[in-house]
Amino acid sequence: MPNITNPHKLEALGLVRRLSPAARAIGAVNTLARLEGAWIGHNTDAAGFLESLRTAPVPVRVKGARILVLGAGGAARAAVWAGAQAGARRIVVLARRRVQARQCAALAGRAGLSGDLVGGARLWRAWARIWWSTPLPGGALGGAFGACLARRAKKGPRPWT
């Protein structure tokens, strides 16, 4: 089964004849399977993401959590959808492109909010969980936001809190 990675997860939707329920809901494909001569698109990111939180050295409880997701591409879409399915209380998506952030946050339904990275620079302190889903390092995000993340990262070895 071929694996699709950044930045092709959204574009892969148009290459398949059928979608799994998760891929359809998330709007991104990361795995292709061939069945009866046709490609079927799946999304295993969401399940894998929740499993990684469940099996972390200090397991992360998603139900009732306030979550900040950085980025709005295919991996972020899966993380937002998975968080909403697992019962997160609030999921905020910050991304460089506001429209894409808004579309990604909509996957969380009423729990979802969105904004841009520059405007969200002061928000990081209020969130219980920060989910990094952008290929850019914190410093590349620019200004106060990148600096906030860099300071936060230096405070301890627990990136899941």
Active site residues: 9
Alpha-carbon distance of 80 to 91, in angstroms, equals 7
Q: Please name the residue that has the structure tokens 């799946």.
A: 42
Contact in structure between 69 and 96 (CB atoms under 8 Å): no
HEC string of 72-108 equals CCHHHHHHHHHHHHCCCCEEEEEECCHHHHHHHHHHH
Exposure string for 114-130, b = 16+ CB within 10 A, e = fewer: bbebeebbebbeebbbb
- Determine the residue type at 103: Q
CB 29 within 8 A of CB 9: yes
Q: How far apart are CA 155 and CA 133, in angstroms?
A: 20
